[in-house]
Amino acid sequence: MGRFIGKRLGLSLVTLFLVSLIVFAISDVLPGDVGRSILGRSATDEQVAALDHQLGYDEPLPERYWKLVSGYATGDWGTSPVLNVEVRPLVLRRFGNSLILAAFAFALIVPFSIFMGIVAALHNGRWADRTISITGLSLIALPEFVTGVILLVVFAVKLGWFPSSSSVPTASPVDWFRQLLLPSIPLMCVLFGYIARMARAGTVDALRADYTRTATLKGLPRRTVVGRHVLRNSLLPTISVVSVQIGYLVGGLVVVETLFAYPGIGSLAYDSVQANDITVIETIVLFTAVLYMFCNLVADILYAALNPRVRLAS
């Protein structure tokens, strides 16, 4: 198990190194100038060049890359030249807000998706299976911004049941639902399709396995066969899908948070791109990459712990 974790950790570090190179290269070729964004169009070229020199954007590329990686590793994420605030507390605060929204959506949709996937597998080939499968595929194909716009028009503008812009809830549970339910629905629609389909596929394979037939031939009740033998093995592939979706929920909220004006890390990334704030953009992308690597590593460890064949094969 130790060697298995070491290999996965090594692959994660290599992936993170490649991501940092790509992020640095893309940020270097982005159109626009940071100094010009801060000083405005009325500033002279000499003033812009002086500010770029003060911020270190005219330094050699290897030196700038080393500052990026070493500063991120040591916790010194720099200062936003546009907002004039420290990047680390800003990103962590916005990440906490996104985590609240993601946890809300995750807690509602994951148990429901797994349950519906199991129901579809137990009724394989019948109307319940077809209905759940078609619904899941349709929701996957529906973009978040389309769902979000429909929800805003119907429930916020026409009916007035929910606010048109969401904020971090701090009051009663009613306020939590009013602030978080509407922006979380587009996320739950996408997650339902992926998780339900994976749970269904794993359950169908487990129902056709030899150990399931053996348990059935022994005369065990169907509830016992499903609960003790089928579910324990069928949900293993779902772990990987759920872990990847955790990273998506936290790092891929740009559309939803921008649409609902939610103060999370996704809306911060959008605003930083608009303002050409390179420091914040690089930090957010690296932070999201670390989150994805961590979620995948945890999923691999859990999968290997539950399925010895994985770690033995590695």
Taking only the tens place, the pLDDT of each residue in 7-20 is 777 887 888 888 88
Q: Which residue has the higher pLDDT, 211 or 40?
A: 211
Tell me, what's the pLDDT at 179?
81
What span, in angstroms and rounded, lies between the C-alpha atoms of 71 and 125? Answer: 55
Cα Rg, the chain, nearest whole Å: 24
Taking only the tens place, the pLDDT of each residue in 18-31 is 888 887 777 666 55
Tell me, what's the pLDDT at 307?
62
What span, in angstroms and rounded, lies between the C-alpha atoms of 124 and 13? Answer: 42
Taking only the tens place, the pLDDT of each residue in 157-169 is 888 888 777 777 7
pTM over 0.85? The answer is: no
Domain boundaries, the chain: 87-313
What span, in angstroms and rounded, lies between the C-alpha atoms of 283 and 289? Answer: 10
Indicate the pLDDT class of residue 39, thresholds 50, 70 and 90: low
Residue 252: pLDDT over 70: no
- Of 102-111, 132-141, 251-260, 265-274, the range with the lowest mean pLDDT is 251-260
Residue 38: pLDDT over 70: no
In three-state form (DSSP H/G/I as H, E/B as E, the rest C), the secondary structure along 164-201 is CCCCCCCCCHHHHHHHHHHHHHHHHHHHHHHHHHHHHH
Tell me the average pLDDT of the chain.
77
Tell me, what's the pLDDT at 33?
58
- Of 87-91, 96-100, 167-171, 310-314, the range with the lowest mean pLDDT is 310-314
CATH of domain 87-313: 1.10.3720.10
